[in-house]
Amino acid sequence: MKGNKPMTYVLIAGVLMVWGLVFYRVFSDGTESTLQTSNTLYKASNTKSSSFAKDNFELLLSYRDPFLSHQVRAGNGFASFPSEQRVGSAKVKKKVKEVVPVVAIDWSFISYLGLVANKVQNKNIGLVVINNKEYMVNEGDCIENVTIVKKSKDSINVSYNKEKKWIKRQ
pLDDT of residue 18: 95
Q: Could you give the CA distance from residue 137 to residue 123 in angstroms, rounded to a whole number?
A: 11
Instruction: State the amino acid at position 105 in one-letter form.
Output: I
Q: In this predicted model, what pLDDT tens digit does every residue of 25-47 receive, in sequence order?
A: 888 876 554 444 444 444 444 44
Of 57 and 14, which is predicted with more confidence? 14
Q: Indicate the class that CATH gives domain 107-168.
A: mainly beta
Tell me what percent of the residues of the chain surpass a pLDDT of 90. Answer: 22
Would you give the end-to-end CA distance of the chain in angstroms?
91
Extents of the domains making up the chain: 58-96, 107-168
Report the Cα 28 to chain-centroid distance in Å.
49
- The structure's pTM equals 0.40
Distance, in Å, from the CA atom of 87 to the CA atom of 93, rounded to the nearest integer, reads 10
Residue 125 bridge partners (DSSP): 116
pLDDT, mean over the chain: 76
pLDDT tens sequence across 105-128: 888 889 999 888 878 888 888 999
Provide the 3-class DSSP secondary structure of residue 65: coil
